[in-house]
Structure 1
Amino acid sequence: MTEKLYYENAYTRMFSAKVVKADNDENGLYVVLDRTAFYPTGGGQPCDKGRLNESLVERVEEVNGEIRHYLSSPLARETGVKGTIDWTRRFDYMQQHAGQHILSAAFEELHHIETIGFHLGKEFVTIDLNIEKLDEEVVRSAELLANQIIFENRTIEPRFIDAEEVATLPLRKLPTVQENIRVVIIDNFDYNGCGGTHPLQTGEIGQIKVVTWERHKQKVRLTFVCGHRALHEMNKKQSLLAQSAHVLKCNEQDVPVKIETLVQSQRELEKALQIAQGKLLEVEAQELIHSHHTNIISVAFQQRTMQEIQQLAMNITSTEEEAVVLFVIEDGERLQLLCACGKQVDHSMNDLVKEVLPLIDGKGGGNKTSARGGGIARISSDELLTNLRSQLMS
């Protein structure tokens, strides 16, 4: 069995050891050491990374009782090695994991809300709470208590206990094993079974900041950050706020009101633009009617939207009940077509569209008075219009 230095002292950054096994599996080359400070993936906490001599430790997993260090280059058995932990990564995970214990305990103590899931990611930490809905007051009260525990700099004591001692501790969750039971005790606040690494004092966590929460599988998933991550997140948001205030030419506290005013103004402008576009399409429809000396109005457009030409066709067929509209949009390697007719026309636009769709390997459909489709521009827009007119006349 490998001696687990990370349990003896989570602050161990460098150590010496000997390779007792060198092999490979589906994850690559790995070695097993007689002793290690590299924490393997487990309990929701990602593994440590670092170096063994000059070889990069890319991942660490516990497989069949072995702590396997997966390497970028091989090391021979019986080789003496110097291990170096990526301390920035290790301490970050220590802060996040301990912060999770405290925040989960705060929700449970104040509101009797149980944590049923935990994920420690590269940027954020999430917990899944056994409740269907959370409000701002509940979240902020738990966040406040959690930070109070941090500021009081309480002792964090990880230790192994036996099954008898389990019954004497107010554990938030009973352990699933009967031996080698490891608990993390936050002085006079939280008692929880855990195999992860943690700082010695709550003050080292720095602070906890809840970022957001959302409904997830009939429960609530809450996202937060601790320590250096919290500082980074606050700096990022402060920078965004300062930039917004600069662009909006207002004080930071006035940014929300300024944005709301701009949003309302934007909505009004969009509404006015829609009205103006509608009037332009009415004018365009009349111009097309007068420019064609037949009831068949056929036009090829370049890069216009289907929504626009649908409205244009409706403007024509609503006033010209004997009109047939044949529109094609050419947009790069794609062709789209729209066929519409007035209510006095005895011809199915759906049948018409389906007759020509094979020419462009297209798909589409509709009804008697309006149909549309699209496909690959195997022929030109003018050729497609010619085919539409031929099919209509036949």
Structure 2
Amino acid sequence: MEAKETIRLYDQNAYETEFEAEVVACEEITGKDKKSYEVILDQTLFFPEEGGQSPDMGTINDMEVRDVQIRDQVIRHTMDEPIAVGTKVKGKVDWQHRFYNMQQHTGEHIFSGIVHNRFGYDNVGFHLSDSVVTMDFNGVIPAEELNDIEDEVNLAIAKNLPVEVTYPSKEELKDLDYRSKIEIEGQVRIVTIPGYDVCACCAPHVKHTGEIGMLKVMSMQNYKGGVRISILCGFRALEAFRQKAEIITELMTQFSTNQEALVDNVVKLKNNSQNYKTQLAEAKQELMDYKIAALPTDIDNAVLFEQDLDTPIMRAVVNKLVEKYKRVSALFVGDDESGYNFIIGSQNADCRLIAAALKNKLEARGGGSNVMVQGSVKADKAAIQRVLDDILEV
């Protein structure tokens, strides 16, 4: 499909949401589930997935735009239905989604500019989705510096600075100190936030920093010799903290305490839970010891079916059975509905033969050595017992 470079209306005015255009190409896309179509317009307000940012959402002739991509400077809109070439169409961009993305991206520029100015680090990875913004810096930022950087970003937001978009000539670019993650061919678009950042960028931005509302650092982790920092800005930050406030409020209700005591209560609950788990495991082990002691001694094989035993207890049980019986000791834990986990051990028999029989007849999974195997089988107790009876000749 050949088409001229798409006119990018969002570069002219990122605040426009409706536009008219003409379809210059439409091609069917072969997919796994259903047909879709790649529609190319002579001009568009839809920002494509580019520079680490998710694409705009919206409609063309009241039909949903599923995706927006750019290749060879041509913007392609993915639609469920075809639109004939030459058709005059009306497009509408989802303003809330666009504006929320603008808040995130301009906030990221301020943050990255401050990090670059303070530490000399570059933003070498950027991802802006509908739920998170991540930035990868090629150097380590001390955790104690994060709050200070966050404060400086929010001060820049409060100043309501103009966000300037320019298209310098090649000669002007030579003397301009600006950030850029990649080599750019053709006209370079520069986004400047006075006193904080100068960066090459293709995405829509707010006109003034005050429109960002706020920026909040959500997390930081070590990543490829540097750090990955997650942020949220504006209304997405507000929604994230509404959710956190709801969780905290519910926890306060459940624990009948205030916010300051929540962590202590959770730690106490965790410790109690671990103590109960330990006590329960000890009780289960003691019960299994009684069961093993009660088993007859005039047999060569021992097969037990139990419910709700952890793997360490299963191993301990089988080890004790192997000491007591000279041929095969098997423990199956589970139920007929969901299946069983098993461990089989022996001092004299080859346990791999039993595992193979379970696999061949019941499609069991697992493996091990000649002295012990373990795995799982989706079958009922009666079917398992029949296989064991055949191979053990009980």
TM-score, length-normalised on structure 1? 0.84
Deviation at 1:117, TM superposition (A): 0.8
What's the % identity of the aligned pairs?
27
Which one of the candidate residues 214, 217, 221 is aligned to 1:207?
Answer: 214
Cα distance in 1, alignment partners of residues 315 and 105 from structure 2: 57
Which deviates more from structure 2 when the two are superposed, residues 208-217 or residues 171-180? 171-180
The offset of 1:151, in angstroms, is 1.2
The alpha-carbon deviation at position 203 of structure 1 amounts to 0.6
Counterpart AA for 1:353: I
- Taking the aligned partners of 2:391 and 2:72, their CA distance within structure 1 comes to 70
Match of 2:121 in 1: 113
| Residue deviations 1:186-224 (CA, integer Å, cap 9, x gap) | 012211011110011001011111111223344322211
Pairing partner for 1:54 from 45, 62, 65 = 62
1:130 offset after TM fit, Å? 0.6
Which residue number in structure 1 is paired with residue 369 of structure 2? 366
Greater displacement, 39-48 / 118-127: 39-48
The Cα of 1:72 is off from its aligned counterpart by 4.0
Summarize the alignment of residues 58-207 of structure 1 with structure 2, pairs less than 5 Å apart.
58-131=66-139, 133-173=140-180, 176-177=183-184, 179-207=186-214
Match of 2:32 in 1: none
Q: 1:332 aligns with which of 336, 341, 344?
A: 336
Which residue type is aligned with residue 41 of structure 1? Answer: E
- Which has the higher mean CA deviation after the structures are superposed, 215-224 or 145-154? 215-224
CA 359–109 in structure 1, closer or farther in 2 if over 3 Å, else same: same
Partner of 1:28: 37
Deviations 1:92-146 (A, max 9, x none): 1111111111111121222332210101112101111112x44421222222211
Q: CA deviation at 1:305?
A: 4.0
Counterpart-to-counterpart distance in 2, 1:351 and 1:23: 60
Q: Deviations over 1:316-340 (max 9, x none)?
A: 444x4x6545335274375665444
State the alpha-carbon separation in 1 of the partners of residues 62 and 55 from structure 2.
19
**2: CA distance, partners of 1:72 / 1:266:** 52
Q: Tell which deviates more after alignment, 249-258 or 80-89.
A: 80-89
Q: How does 1:276-315 map to 2 (within 5 A)?
A: 276-288=283-295, 292-303=296-307, 305=309, 307=311, 308-315=313-320
The question of whether the paired residues in 1 share the 8 Å contact of 2:27 and 2:37 is answered with yes
Quickly say closer, same or farther: Cα 1:73–1:262, change in 2 above 3 A: same
1:355: Cα distance to partner?
A: 7.3
Change (3 A) 1:275 1:373: closer
- Confirm or deny that 1:273 pairs with 2:274: no
The counterpart of 1:244, out of the listed 214, 226, 251, is: 251
SS at match of 1:161: coil
TM-score (norm 2): 0.84
Q: Which runs of 5+ in 2 are unaligned?
A: 30-35
- Cα 1:168–1:125 change in 2 (3 A) is same
**SS of corresponding position for 1:326:** strand
Match of 2:384 among 361, 374, 381: 381
Aligned residues: 378
Name the counterpart of 2:349.
348
Is residue 106–residue 143 contact of structure 1 (8 Å, CA) maintained in 2? Answer: no
Secondary structure at the aligned position of 1:10 is classed as coil
Which residue does 1:221 correspond to in 2? 228
Contact 2:28 2:38 in 1 (8 A): yes
- Cα contact 1:153–1:203 (8 A) shared by 2: yes
* 1:121–1:268 distance in 2 versus 1, CA, 3 Å: same
AA aligned opposite 2:367 = G
- Distance (Å, rounded) in 2 between the aligned partners of 1:388 and 1:338: 16
